[in-house]
Amino acid sequence: MKGIKNIAVETVTAGFIEDCVIIYDKTINYIGSLSDAPDFAEEIEWTDGNGQIVFPGFIDVHTHLGIDEEGVGKEGDDFNETSNPITPHLRAIDGINSFDSGYYRALKAGITTVQVLPGSANVIGGLTAIIKVKPDRPIEQQCIKSPAALKIAFGENPKRFHANNGVVTRMGVAAKIREAFWRAKNCPPQSLAEQALADVFADDLPVRAHAHRADDILTAIRIADEFGFALSIEHATDGIRIVDQIKASGYNVVVGPTATGKSKVELANQSWDTYQAFERAGIPFAITTDHPVIPIEELLTAVRHAIAHGLSEEAALKSITIQAAKHLGIDDCVGSIEVGKDADFVLWSASPFDNFRAKATTVIIDGETIQ
């Protein structure tokens, strides 16, 4: 049994709690005053937090960590299997290299949980994985859930990559998605690919749709309504134009990355004002880096920019903690510091929301000091 004392704990769900956290068997056993700690506190191996601030481990809900590696060129490019535009049976977990340097960059930013997705070149790209950021060890020791969701894509990317493969227009992209889901609902599966699509309905797997432009977002909503699957709108760059429609849909939303150049036509209306617009409309959302589109350690930078453009600090914090966890369906174990949840938290030299010089001094995942 371990404990950390002389700290201020940002629980997210219950505000700040002073003094100590006790860890037992990978989970949080107690939060509160040392003087009120359980009788067994004398048996605890204590660490002095020296007045630091503790935040839950941050969550990036949309990354290509370990599957689109940095600094190794084509050898580390394992996130787009462009041999076929329809590849629902591919699993991100089979392409993740946990020795990727991006893991350590994530830890420096206090990120302890990520979702890893296939890329957006394919119309249907494959199955995602949710992992803890534990570098240099087998992926099985990191994985929370796999498969966790199905990735699909609208817009410029599948058109560009598969123009010679029968996907030339947005109509063509939508038609291929409809055909695949129609077969999944109406025909017995005859292959791994068809089984993966059938599992969306049998196992209630969410579908995460890469969609930047407003019309692509609306097409994703329309198809999700037609077939009755749980949708997440990933990126939502043009979402500020259709706030009412997104809110009415009730589907999950991920915003970002916004700290990029407008390298594609569908990014023309990219704006930091989107975050504030969603908050004002009452649309819960998570913020992403889409690593390595922007480096994963810049998640907090993105959050700070959103705050500077009107997003409240409360919504900003939730977007990379409890709301991100809800988005992934894992808020029962991560996303806040609560008794019974996984002991995933980070000691900071100062609040990373108030001080640009704040550093993550200690990262703890499942009760283990990772960094």
Q: Among positive and negative, which fits the CA dihedral 217, 222, 225, 226?
A: negative
Distances in whole angstroms, Cα of residue 48 to Cα of each of 1, 187, 351: 15, 61, 18
CB 219 within 8 A of CB 164: no
CB 20 within 8 A of CB 31: yes
CB 256 within 8 A of CB 63: no
Residues 6+ apart with CB under 8 A from 31: 9, 11, 17, 20, 21, 22, 337, 338, 339
**In 162-320, where does DSSP find H-type helix?**
170-186, 192-202, 214-227, 243-249, 273-281, 299-308, 313-319
What pLDDT is stored for residue 41 in this prediction? 67
- Pairing, β 345-348 against β 53-56: antiparallel
| Token pair in block for residue 65 | 């960590």
CB 56 within 8 A of CB 335: yes
What pLDDT is stored for residue 146 in this prediction? 98
What pLDDT is stored for residue 249 in this prediction? 99
φ, ψ of residue 21 to 5 degrees: the values are: -130, 135
What pLDDT is stored for residue 132 in this prediction? 99
Domains of the chain: 2-55+337-369 (2.30.40.10), 58-328 (3.20.20.140)
What pLDDT is stored for residue 39 in this prediction? 77
**How many angstroms separate the CA atoms of 87 and 100, rounded?**
24
**How many angstroms separate the CA atoms of 212 and 234, rounded?**
8
What pLDDT is stored for residue 42 in this prediction? 73
| Token pair in block for residue 317 | 């914090």
| Token pair in block for residue 49 | 């937090």
Centre a 10 Å sphere on the Cβ of residue 265 and count the other Cβ atoms it contains. Answer: 10
What percentage of the chain carries pLDDT values higher than 70?
A: 100
CB 70 within 8 A of CB 107: no
**How many angstroms separate the CA atoms of 154 and 213, rounded?**
9
CB 7 within 8 A of CB 54: yes
Low-confidence ranges of the chain (pLDDT < 70): 41
154 burial type by CB count under 10 A (0-12 exposed, 13-18 middle, 19+ buried): buried
What pLDDT is stored for residue 166 in this prediction? 78
| Token pair in block for residue 147 | 């498969």
